[in-house]
Amino acid sequence: MPSLFDPTQAGDLHLANRIVLAPLTRSRAPGAIPTPLMAEYYAQRASGGLLITEATAISHQGQGYSDVPGLYSTSQLDGWKQVTRAVHDAGGKIVVQLWHVGRVSHNELQPHGGKPVAPSAITAKAQIVLIKGGVPTYVDTSEPRALDAGELPGIVHVYQAAARNAVETAGFDGVEIHGANGYLLDQFLKSGSNRRSDDYGGSIENRARLLLEVVRAITSAIGGGRTGIRLSPVAPANDVYDADPQPLFEYVVKQLATLNLAYLHIIEGATGGPRELPDRPFDYAALKAAYRTAGGKGAWMVNNGYDKALAEQALAGGADLIAFGRRYLANPDLVRRLREDAPLNTPDKATFYGGGAKGYTDYPALA
Report, as residue numbers or ranges, the catalytic residues: 183
349 contact partners, CB below 8 Å, separation of at least 6:
none
DSSP letter at 364? Answer: P
Q: How far apart are CA 64 and CA 55, in angstroms?
A: 10
Q: How far apart are CA 64 and CA 56, in angstroms?
A: 10
φ and ψ at residue 340, rounded to 5 degrees: -95, 5
* CA 26 remoteness from chain centre: 13
The residues that bridge with 302 in the sheet, in sequence order, are 266, 322
End-to-end CA distance of the chain: 30
Between CA 32 and CA 43, with CA 37 as vertex, the angle to 5 degrees is 110
φ and ψ at residue 82, rounded to 5 degrees: -60, -40
CB 351 within 8 A of CB 359: yes
> SS3 of 102, please?
coil
CB 271 within 8 A of CB 232: yes
Give the number of residues written for the chain.
367
The residues that bridge with 15 in the sheet, in sequence order, are 8
CB 24 within 8 A of CB 65: no
> SS3 of 207, please?
helix
Burial-class residue 3 by CB neighbours within 10 Å (0-12, 13-18, 19+).
exposed
Burial string for 133-164 (b: 16+ CB within 10 Å, else e) reads eeebeeeebbebebbeeeebeebbebbbbbbe
Strands 8-10 and 13-15, by their bridges, are: antiparallel
